[in-house]
Amino acid sequence: MMIISCQHIKKYHGAQLVLEDLTLEIRQGERVGLIGRNGCGKSTLLQLISGQLNPDEGQLAIRKGTQIGYLSQIPQEQDEFTVYEVLALGFQMLIACRDQMAELEIQMAESTGHEQHLERLLKKYAELQESYEISGGYEMDARMNQVIQGLRIPVEQLTRRFASLSGGEKTKVGLATLLIERPTLLLLDEPTNHLDLAGVEWLETYLNNYEGTCIIVSHDRYFLDRVVTKIVEIEDGEAFVYHTNYSGYSLEKDERLLLQFASYQEQQKKIKQMKETIKRLEEWGRIGDNGKFFRRAASMQKALDRMEKIKRPDLDPRAVDFELKQGDRSGQKVLKLEEVQKCFGDKRILNGVEQSLQYGDKVALIGSNGSGKSTLFKLILGEESCDSGNVTLGSRIELGYLAQEEKPPEDRKKTVLQVFREEAGLEEGEARGKLAGYLFYGGDVFKAVNLLSGGEWTRLRLAILLHKQPNLLLLDEPTNHLDISSREALEAALEEFPGTVLVISHDRYFINRMAKRVWELQKGKLIGYLGNYDDFREKQKQLESSRELIEIAIPKKQKTVIEVHKPKSNLSVERNRARLEQSIAAAEQQLAELDAFFQTPNCADDVINYGQTVSRWEALKAELELFYNQWIEQEK
């Protein structure tokens, strides 16, 4: 069943044509990925569908009764509400119904000796209760808790004022509000930007089970592969539809471009022949003074004018040219973390972190929001000091850092060219040449930085950073706001970069292509894995399987230990004590050896062996506790 129909939509922003002859149909239950370069009109299309904008030409039809949920529709006047109240916006009628039921319960309790009045109250209460049940009132709290826990919104945040949240936190709460409300049509603009990996994976599962229709603007290719059933690419103001996920789209687009280019070349040959024929007929008409040739030429010209011209496909579109070079090579040892401890108040963020970076390493740092990833970066940058342990940088280190959310200069009226020249120290001509490589052409360099989109601001910051030619890159979510072509260009540049890279990212496609190792920061510990994100996930699954097997085995082992060391009536107390003391000494020796193993810097590189060793340590600890208890009983 059709839910949205766009026919020949045209939309201008001022004098700029954003959408031209866009035709698109979306059916009920489809999960559509909307992709395209920054500024191509994706958000404009969402605003048209949501009713915030009207098309300048064409027709946009949405099925009657469709409930639309769009993230930017969260009104700013809700700033005085608590986070919980904002999350409950979709349940206003249900909450009002519940309040009325509570009020009736009080009235019924106080109504004594008035049977008719009590009957009226009971009847009204029954009607409200039926309406409350049919509308899902008894599932309201469960639905809210499911989304709150899935998107990992802290419980202590629920009582805070919505206005006190950061931009990223507001976006996450806004997304949660929409998911709780469950509209018929869900419009999501970059929903994964402020989620950690666990939150993204939960959202994927949620959307795959969502019964409504979803239109998702996203540059997260891994997310698109796992969620969407249809890709719509906006290019040159038109919509191109692919009934597949992102990987399928990549293959189909290459085939479409090649076919379109072949058709374009064939048509150009035909046009050239027709033009030559028209020219020849007109020449014959002039030589022979014969009007018949002029009429045939005019007829052919009309046919040529009526011909629908095939656009020349751009087989090699302009992409960002990230000039990623290092000035001076660093030493072989780039970074060493030794027993790093860091606390904020009573909360321990880093607990005995040990890892090292060698020259040329490409490492992705992952972990849940609030796990300490940015804190670790600040320790490396020297902006924070560790409570104990050491953070040591190697020799000849030229460090380059890209923050996740860096604010523009205080003078927000400064242009792109002014900011770049001040930071890079270049003449105007050379600076404009460099900026052209980052897709700032012509008048773009005179745009005020406060008017830049998220993607443009990230490109400018990368241009400034890479001009300094660092040999150690610390990148905090570098792909946020970048379109897919820019992400691919950055991936290619990092692959060729000879220096060292440590990057915080939740872009799994980016990690798969760039990273050779993955560091997971969890509960204050930093565990290293060889390989990319897919390798990390595979090792996690293996570790979970081995833990399950060990958990099954441990109770049996403990039971055997108890039976072996249970005092028997025919053994003297002295012999039994001696045996227990030998067992205690042996267990303590094994625990000491395992503790020594845990002190080695690369003990967690082999994650399966590390997990098995941890489980063995826990089992030995449990055995030793049993031995101690039996020894104490003997002494008594």
120-169 residue pLDDT tens: 888 888 888 888 787 777 777 788 888 888 888 888 888 888 888 766 77
Task: Give the Cα separation of 437 and 606 in Å (integer).
Answer: 42
Task: Give the Cα separation of 561 and 578 in Å (integer).
Answer: 16
Tokens of 148: 């709150």
Question: DSSP letter at 623?
Answer: H
Three-class SS state of 86: helix
Tokens of 240: 């191109």
Question: DSSP letter at 228?
Answer: -
Q: What is the mean pLDDT of residues 462-472?
A: 91
Mean pLDDT over each residue of the chain, to the nearest integer = 83
pLDDT the model gives residue 81: 84
Tokens of 556: 């049996």
Q: What is the mean pLDDT of residues 184-195?
A: 88
**pLDDT tens digits, residue range 359-415?**
999 999 998 887 889 899 999 999 989 989 999 999 999 999 998 877 766 666 788
Three-class SS state of 113: coil
pLDDT the model gives residue 569: 44
Q: CA dihedral defined by 122, 124, 125, 130, rounded to 10 degrees?
A: 120
Q: What are the C-alpha distances in Å from 21 to residues 2, 4, 24, 257? A: 20, 16, 10, 19
| The residue type at 562 | I
Asked if residue 552 has pLDDT above 60, the reply is no
Task: Give the Cα separation of 377 and 360 in Å (integer).
Answer: 18
Residue 617: partners with Cβ closer than 8 Å, 6 or more residues away = 591, 594, 595, 598
When pLDDT is cut at 50, 70 and 90, the band that residue 455 belongs to is confident
Task: Give the Cα separation of 519 and 526 in Å (integer).
Answer: 6
Q: Answer whether 0.75 is exceeded by the pTM.
A: no
The dihedral built from the CA positions of residue 206, 207, 211 and 214, taken in this order, carries a sign that is positive
Contact predicate 469/397, CB 8 Å: no
pLDDT the model gives residue 560: 40
Q: 190: phi > 0 → left, psi -120 to 50 → alpha, else beta; which?
A: left
Residue 330: partners with Cβ closer than 8 Å, 6 or more residues away = 359, 394, 395, 396, 397, 398, 471, 472, 499, 500
Strands ordered across the beta sheet of 2-13: 16-27, 2-13, 57-62
Vertex 498: Cα angle to 492 and 503 (nearest 5):
65
Strands ordered across the beta sheet of 185-189: 68-70, 185-189, 213-217, 31-35, 230-235, 238-242
Q: CATH: 3.30.1130.10, 3.10.20.30, 3.40.1350.10, 3.40.50.300. Which one for 333-408+452-531?
A: 3.40.50.300
Three-class SS state of 51: coil
Q: What are the C-alpha distances in Å from 76 to residues 48, 79, 151, 163? A: 20, 6, 22, 9
Q: Alpha helices, DSSP H only, in 565-606?
A: 573-598
**pLDDT tens digits, residue range 593-635?**
777 776 666 665 665 566 667 667 767 777 777 777 676 666 6
Task: Give the Cα separation of 285 and 619 in Å (integer).
Answer: 102
Vertex 177: Cα angle to 175 and 178 (nearest 5):
65
When pLDDT is cut at 50, 70 and 90, the band that residue 562 belongs to is very low
Measuring CA to CA, which residue among 419, 503, 492 is closest to residue 461? 419
Asked if residue 8 has pLDDT above 90, the reply is yes
Q: What is the mean pLDDT of residues 215-226?
A: 93
pLDDT the model gives residue 365: 95
Strand partners, 230: 32
Measuring CA to CA, which residue among 81, 256, 83 is closest to residue 156? 83
Tokens of 187: 């419009």
Contact predicate 367/373, CB 8 Å: yes
Contact predicate 437/464, CB 8 Å: no
Which of 54-68, 82-96, 235-249, 350-364 comes out lowest in average pLDDT?
82-96
Asked if residue 442 has pLDDT above 80, the reply is yes
Contact predicate 584/624, CB 8 Å: yes
